[in-house]
Structure 1
Amino acid sequence: MKLSKNQGSRRSNTALNMFLSFITSIFAVGISVIITLNLTIVYKIAIDKFNLVKITGLSKEKLMFNYNGMIKYLNNPFIKQLEFEDFSMSRTGEIHFQEVKNIFMKLYIIVIIALLIFITFKLVKALAKNIEFPKVVNYAANIILITFGFVMASMGINFSKTFVLFHKLFFNNNYWIFDPKTDPVINALPEELFLVYAIIIIVLLGVQVIAFKMIYIKSKPIKSPHQIIKRFNI
C-alpha cells in the first residue's frame, strides 16, 4: 500500500521527534551525572556524616584535598595519572580509576555531541520546521521516567546489589573491588556516598522531567481538569 505524501511526511516527522527525544534524554542524564560529579560540597558534608575522619585517620582538610585531586583527574583529559597525597594505590586500583575517567570523558563527549545535534536542528530552519519541540521533550521525559523508574525500584529493593550490577555492566573486570590494605582510598569512598550521588542524579532528572512535562502541557490549550491529566501523555 502506497502512503500519501502527508502520511510519509508525518511518519518522517515522528521519527525525527523520537530521535531528538532520545538525544534529549541522553543529554539530561549526562548533564545530571556531570553536575553531581562536580558537587564537591556533597563530599564535604559526607566526611562528617559518615565519620570519615575517624575511619581514615586523616583530617577533613586532607580528605578534601585528595578528593578534589581525584575530581580534577576525572574531569581533565590532560591529567594522565592519578596520584593521591595521602593514599597508596595498587596497579589494579590505578587501572580502575583510569577506566572511570574514560567513562566520564566519553560522557562529556556524548553530552557535547547531543547538545550540538539539538542546537543544529533548532537553528537550521529547514530542519526546525519539522520539529515539534513540546513533543520532543515530552517523549524524552517518558524515556527518563521509564528507565530511571526501573533504576529507582532496584535501588529501593537493594542498593548494594544494584551498585554491584552497575559495576559489572560498566567494567569488564573486578578491579573495582578494592582491598583497603592496598587501596586505602576505599575507606574514604564508602558505598553510602554513592547512594547519595545516585539520589542527587535522580533528583536532578526529576526536576528536568517536571520542566519537560510543563513545557508540553503549556503548549496545549487546556479547557478542563480532565485535559490537564491527559496532557501529561505518559
Structure 2
Amino acid sequence: MAGVARFVASNLAPAAQRFAPQAAAGILRQVLEIAIDGYQRFPGAEKIAENKLSKTGNDPQLAIDAVIDQHIRLAGVQGFVTGLGGLITLPVSLPANLTGIAIVQTRMVAAIAHLRGYDLDDPRVRTAVITCLLGEDGVADRLKKSSLVTSPLAIATAPVFDPELDRQVAGEVVGELIARISGKKMVLTVTRRIPLLGGAVGGGVDGWSTYRIGQYADKSLVRRIPRSLEQ
C-alpha cells in the first residue's frame, strides 16, 4: 500500500501544475474560510478550540489533544463528507471527498494554532496552517528539494506576509492533496471486491493522515509569545 501511495504521489504531483498558482490559492482560501469561520452546522476553528479548552480545565495541551482526537474520528467516519452541514454542495473547485478531508484537517490545524496563541486573521498564520497539511515528511522533502523555503513556524512568525510564498505553498498543498486522494482511490479499487474492507481502508487512510498532520501541527506551532513580551 505504501508503494502504491508513493507511486501515485510521484506521478500525479506534477499533474497538479495544471492549477495556476492563483487558482490553487483561490481554492485554499475557500477551504480556509470554511475551516476557520465555519459553515452551517460545521463550527469554525476558534469555536471548536474554545469549546475543548473549556472542557479541559483551560489546559491548552489537553484541548489540543482533544481537538486532534475529534478530527481523527470525524475523518475516519464512513461517509463523513455528507454529514458536514452541506459541505458537499460547496462551490469549491475540488472533488467532494477531497474538499471534505481538506476542510476537516485545516480546521484541526487552525484550532491548534488558536490554542497556541496565533491570530487566525493574520495571513501569515493562515499560510502556516495550510503548510501543515503537507505533514512532516512532506515539508521535510520539499525543504530538501527547495520547493519550499521554510517551515510553518517560520512562516507564521515572519516579519511580513509574503504573497509569493503563499502562492507557492498553495500550489504544493493542492498537488499533495490531489496525490493523496488519487492514491487512496487506487487502493480502494484494489479492495473494493472484499466486503466492508474498502470502507475500512478509506476511513483508516483519512484517520491516519489526520493523526499525522495533527501531531505535526502540535509539534511545529509552538506557543506564541505575546508581542508585548517579545522585546
TM-score, normalising length: structure 2: 0.29
